[in-house]
Amino acid sequence: MIYELIPNELHKELNDFLNDLERIASQHVEFCPFCDKKEFYLIRSKPTTTYRCKACYKYFTAATNTPFNRLTPFNWLETIFVSRIKNYSYQAIANIFDCSTEKIMRRDHAIINYLKLHYLSLYKWYINKQQTTLNPILIEQHNYIKSKINTLLNTQTPPCLHCNSTETVKIGKRTCYWCKRCRHSFNLLSNTKLNRLPKSELWLSFIDLLIDGQDNTQIEKKLKLTNNTVRRWRAVWREMMINWNCEALSIWCKGH
Ligand SMILES: [Zn+2]
Ligand SMILES: [Zn+2]
């Protein structure tokens, strides 16, 4: 099945990776991920099988210390991986599991991270495939980023970052709010690099130009920004794309 879609020289890595996924899905562990010792107690089997090492006393699951940590149910991973190889869109995969697109993207991002750590050739192929042949994926990620920015900049009553109440009002600057319930203020962009990025009215146009493949000089002229600013914005946005699980798009925006 998927072996036919993947170059022969990658079959060994593919096979090993699928075995890893199977082991994680069956939640079987052979050694402690912290100290490599092979003796441990079974602490509980639901919702996630959890063990405790007899030597270092640490708790762990089959996914501890991997990018798949907490991304249950683990048996989704193989289906997501295989579907992506078959060019399914995130939306189509989300429909299979009846969940949000975001959940699928987070898991695909973990798959990419895992491949990068353990199976470099397969990683490169998987990423490039997304970049060159999966245009629909890039379009999907482009739309996703745009809607993310729109929501960030235009939401009226976002849930409070302290108490989750939606009785919030906008105060002062673009993404600062005040919570009527817990009386704290918060900024939707704190902890992100966007917080220090000025001229938010240009963000969407900037993203469009990046994805259109324009180089820094072209963008500089069109948006009347300095060369340094364009360079910094490109780096910040590429990082945000990765944070928002749009790794393929981030690679695309590296510049051509
Ligand atoms: Zn241990
Ligand atoms: Zn609050």
Q: Which ligand is nearest to the CA of 157?
A: 2
Position 127, amino acid: I
Instruction: Report pLDDT for 36.
Output: 93
Instruction: Report pLDDT for 132.
Output: 54
pLDDT at 136 over 90: no
Q: Residues with beta carbon < 5 A to ion ligand 2?
A: 160, 162-163, 165, 179, 181-182
CA–CA distance, 63 with 70 (Å, rounded to integer): 7
CA–CA distance, 239 with 193 (Å, rounded to integer): 9
Instruction: Report pLDDT for 127.
Output: 84
The mean of the pLDDT values for the chain is: 90
CA 154 to ligand 1 center in whole angstroms: 48
Q: Which ligand is nearest to the CA of 52?
A: 1
Q: Helix 120-132 to helix 76-85 angle, to the nearest 10 degrees?
A: 50
Instruction: Report pLDDT for 138.
Output: 79
Tokens representing 148?
């993310």
Instruction: Report pLDDT for 247.
Output: 85
**Domain residues of the chain, as ranges?**
2-25+70-133, 28-61, 137-252
Instruction: Report pLDDT for 215.
Output: 86
Q: Which residue has the higher pLDDT, 51 or 213?
A: 51
**Strands across the sheet containing 40-44:** 40-44, 50-53, 59-60
Rounded to whole angstroms, the maximal C-alpha distance in the chain is 63
Express each pLDDT in 61-97 by its tens digit.
999 999 999 899 999 999 999 998 887 888 889 999 9
